[in-house]
Amino acid sequence: MQEQMNWWEVASSVLTFIGGGILAVDAFRARSNTKVRIGARELEEEIHKLLSQRAGAQSQVRTAIPGASAAPAVPTSIPDQLELSLAKRTRRLTIAGFVVVTAGFLIDLLVKLHVL
């Protein structure tokens, strides 16, 4: 029984460590995520500049050629889409980390109560 209990204690410690690692992943990605957000904002600004230039050129064409197509619609905000994507990833990692840490805690508690 003692040997089996040691395995449960080891399992609880390992699960708690892995869960903590999963939760730490997002913290380690914070700097990278910030760089991605900044890059997305810069990309969106460049796209808006290009679309504005293109719209200006097309307005000149429309005045010269009747029936020419209108300027394309501005795409949905890239930083907003990126922010949602990063938030979804953070949420998934947080839930996974919480589940693993909780499993480790419950095993540890059951071992200490001599249930396992």
- For residue range 51-98, list pLDDT tens digits in order: 888 877 666 655 555 555 554 554 557 777 888 888 888 888 889 999
The most distant pair of C-alpha atoms in the chain lies apart, rounded to whole Å, by 90
* Confidence label for 101 from pLDDT (cuts 50, 70 and 90): very high
* Confidence label for 106 from pLDDT (cuts 50, 70 and 90): very high
- pLDDT at residue 23 is higher than 70: yes
Dihedral through CA 61, CA 64, CA 67, CA 70, nearest 10?
Answer: 30
Whole-prediction pTM value?
A: 0.58
